[in-house]
């Protein structure tokens, strides 16, 4: 196991979301490191069942959980997403499906949903 306390963020590749999410995990979970699993609009892909992409995400999350000991996985959606240009309410519906997909992997860790708004404030929207 790696030294330090890890979390996993299934985050958009959008650079505006990276630092706020990392800081949120540090503040709320006392995390030292956040493993970043990035895709454009990840809640869309996880919700819509893009098999190849889901397998890629799952493999990377598995490494974070089993190799680094991450005990919390956050899936992130955000305002102004170029990869998933849907309003917040639609992204939250996708997030619910995405969380269901992640839970089906049987990782044995906490799964949460985060939303980053236009001011880069991070909101815990699913727990």
Find the CATH number of the domain harbouring 30.
3.40.1050.10
In this predicted model, what pLDDT tens digit does every residue of 54-94 receive, in sequence order?
999 999 999 999 999 999 999 999 999 999 999 999 999 99
Q: How confident is the model at residue 1 (pLDDT cuts 50, 70, 90)?
A: low
State whether residue 9 is helix, strand or coil. strand
**Residue 42 lies inside a defined structural domain of this protein:** yes
What's the number of domains the chain is made of?
1
What pTM, to 2 d.p., does this model score? 0.95
The Cα 78–Cα 50 span in angstroms is 20
Report residue 79 CA to chain centroid gap.
15
Q: Which two tokens stand for residue 109?
A: 């860790």
The answer to the question of residue 61 being in a domain is yes
Domain coverage including residue 21: 6-126
Strands (DSSP E) contained in 55-97 are 72-78
Please return the burial class of 37, using the count of CB atoms within 10 Å of its CB with bins 0-12, 13-18 and 19+.
buried
């Amino acid at each position: 196991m790696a030294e330090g306390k890890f979390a996993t963020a299934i985050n958009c590749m959008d650079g505006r979301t990276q630092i706020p999410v990392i800081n949120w995990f540090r503040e709320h979970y006392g995390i030292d490191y956040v493993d970043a699993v990035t895709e454009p609009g990840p809640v869309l892909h996880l919700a819509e069942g893009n098999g190849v992409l889901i397998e890629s995400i799952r493999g990377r999350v598995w490494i974070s959980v089993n190799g680094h000991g991450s005990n919390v996985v956050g899936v992130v959606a955000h305002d102004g997403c170029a990869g998933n240009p849907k309003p917040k309410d639609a992204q939250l519906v996708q997030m619910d499906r995405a969380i269901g997909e992640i839970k089906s992997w049987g990782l044995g860790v906490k799964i949460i949903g985060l939303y980053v708004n236009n001011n880069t404030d991070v909101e815990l929207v699913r727990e």
